[in-house]
Chain A
């Protein structure tokens, strides 16, 4: 395909990305240097680094950073290990696999805010878990500031595990039988088989799922917002904190909100740049 044809094919998509992704990002950076309130959008005023100073000295920002990091560090490995285990089990199921798969996929496919709402319902007064808790401990269970972070993490693992499961399952389908049989003949047990045959085969997938999971967990909004709302602001992740600052009724500080957004973007790119660089090199290598 020559260059001209390529551009004819690609230009609509490139225009969309330029107009609705590159340009807004530049606007974000610009707005980050403005003093701009939600109730008075017409008078942006250049304040230099003030918004950044304001953010970096805000203890709520550091609390959000801390919880976001904990959230990523806990949910990503947990959902990946859990997902791999379920994928290995699914791989051994003969009959009925489609039904199990549909049921297991459901939490991942359902609207995240709805999934969170119905999960939360189990823990509210009159809910199933709340009732079981009372039966066993004689104490009423209530969602509170002290346990909401744990619940957020558990519910997120519930939500995101099927992604790792399905991807690893797809990878397992391409594992050559001979390799497994050879290992079995050599007397490899389950763990050695997993470590020396299955995992090396899934190596690229593990990287892929890991990266996607880190991106998604880092920017999580929907489920944390539903769990916390304005009740438990100390359990806000970066994205929720960001939107709260920018759009809080009547005192939304859009300038500060954009400064937070810029810092969030820088945060994910620190992790991502080496990977992007490597993909770029791969792409170039593919072309020569």
Chain B
């Protein structure tokens, strides 16, 4: 019963009124931008804002994403909606099913295939490559971060020696360091490696079996790999702390029983512990995903041309481009939509994740 908690009892209406004010404070910029993105430039430029009754248009989205001016945006919207619906359906089944991962993998595959086919249906702009970069960087960062983070998190939760404590505290210290302490040596180091690759000729080797599409020379700077490595590294302290706090909740007896039956530690970890860790993996994965998707500084410094979406959007609004304010708004909406969908689908995991990291401090 929650009856006694409020000692001052504001009436429910007042409570909801305050909450609605708070919601207005937090979402006004989003609503405003969404409106701007579907207005004609003349309405945006008018001195008194046109708040309603304006004509809508998808021009801004077309200009941002597509090369050609006479594409029917309804077709694009239908394509996006169909893909989203299929992915969402697979995801929903995955949440209900006992083994969720094949369904989530299917949903990911559908999105990847759609991304790959899209530019064959419609001529896409450069920005489309930045979207692909964003997706690749985000997925790879999540995959690598979680794989090594799960192992380390488990080890740190179960081992009682002093070296475990030292690693944890050093990681906590790294969590506090500013990006600026890393980005300059990364840049310098990548440059050095590239020069070594060029001078020894390794960079121009042909790898007959591995064909990197669009890459003739091997290099580090200005590649997606550089961004992924940097993100995995700075995210590692957070990942191991968070996963460790989840692993500690799992009773030791679980894997001990399996090991009594003859399983090795690694088998017990894979077959017994991982299956019950999915909520924790999803929560940690969500934060890793947001971190990679939202990254700006590393991409700007380490990848002067292989941008991801945040860098593309900031450069859009800078003085050097003549593109309009509506286009920047369309870009902002496009980059925010996936995040909104993620919040709606995974709100519980997000909240639990923040809480879990917190409760144990």
Contacts and interface: CB of A to CB of B under 8 A. Distances in A.
Contacts of B46: 126
B296 A93 contact: no
Nearest to B297: A221
B354 A113 contact: no
Contacts of B232: 16, 20
Nearest to B158: A1
A110 B332 CA distance: 10
Interface bin, chain A? 35 or more
Interface of B: 1-2, 4-8, 15-16, 18-19, 22-23, 25-30, 32-33, 36, 44-49, 147-149, 151-152, 154-156, 158-186, 188-189, 191, 195, 229-230, 232-234, 236-237, 240, 265, 290, 293-294, 296-297, 301, 309-310, 313-314, 317-318, 325, 328-329, 332, 335-336, 339-340, 342-344, 347, 350-352, 354-355, 358-359, 361
Interface stretch (A23-31, A55-63, A72-80, A141-149): A23-31
A283 B180 contact: no
A174 B355 CA distance: 11
A6 B172 contact: no
Nearest to B181: A261
Contacts of B296: 111-113, 221-222, 225
Interface string A12-25: 11101101110111
A109 B339 contact: yes
Given A9-B151, A41-B191, A243-B301, A17 B159 contact: no
Contacts of A131: 47-49
A93 B10 CA distance: 11
* Chain A binding surface SS class: helix
A137 interface: no
Given A28-B181, A170-B351, A218-B178, A10 B155 contact: yes
Given A121-B29, A121-B36, A166-B351, A180 B236 contact: no
A261 B301 CA distance: 15
Interface string A219-245: 101100110010000000011001100
A222 B167 contact: no
B347 A3 contact: no
Contacts of A280: 165-166, 169
Given A9-B154, A20-B233, A272-B173, A128 B354 contact: no
A283 B355 contact: no
B185 A31 contact: yes
Contacts of A106: 26-27, 30, 340, 343
**The 8 residue pairs across chains A and B that have the minimum distance between CB atoms:** A170-B355, A9-B155, A20-B233, A13-B152, A219-B178, A24-B185, A283-B165, A27-B185
B355 A180 contact: no
Given A10-B159, A114-B332, 17 more contacts: A9-B151, A10-B156, A20-B182, A25-B182, A25-B185, A89-B18, A89-B19, A90-B19, A113-B310, A127-B49, A166-B351, A167-B358, A193-B7, A222-B296, A242-B178, A247-B301, A280-B169
Contacts of A243: 180, 183, 297, 301
B257 to A, nearest CB: 15
A177 B328 contact: no
Contacts of B176: 215, 268-269, 272
Most chain B beta-carbon neighbours within 10 Å: one of A12, A23, A209:
A12
Given A110-B336, A180-B4, A279-B172, A122 B158 contact: no
Contact of A171 (B336, B340, B359): B359
Interface of A: 1, 3, 5-10, 12-14, 16-17, 19-21, 23-25, 27-28, 31, 41-42, 86, 89-94, 96, 98, 100-107, 109-115, 117-119, 121-122, 126-128, 131, 158, 162-163, 166-167, 169-171, 173-174, 177, 180-181, 184, 188-190, 193, 204-205, 207-209, 215, 218-219, 221-222, 225-226, 229, 238-239, 242-243, 246-247, 254, 257-258, 260-262, 264-265, 268-269, 272, 276, 279-280, 283-284, 287
Most chain A beta-carbon neighbours within 10 Å: one of B46, B170, B293, B296:
B296
A164 B2 CA distance: 22
B361 A6 contact: no
B45 A126 contact: yes
Contact of A117 (B15, B182, B297, B313): B313
A280 B155 CA distance: 18
Contacts of B147: 12
Given A115-B29, A243-B301, A10 B151 contact: yes
B354 A166 contact: yes
Contacts of B45: 126
A25 B314 contact: no
Nearest to B168: A283
A75 to B, nearest CB: 16
24 contacts: A1-B160, A5-B265, A9-B152, A10-B164, A16-B232, A20-B232, A25-B182, A90-B19, A92-B5, A93-B16, A100-B23, A102-B344, A104-B23, A112-B296, A113-B296, A115-B29, A117-B328, A122-B29, A169-B355, A170-B358, A174-B359, A184-B7, A257-B180, A268-B176
B114 to A, nearest CB: 22
A56 B282 CA distance: 46
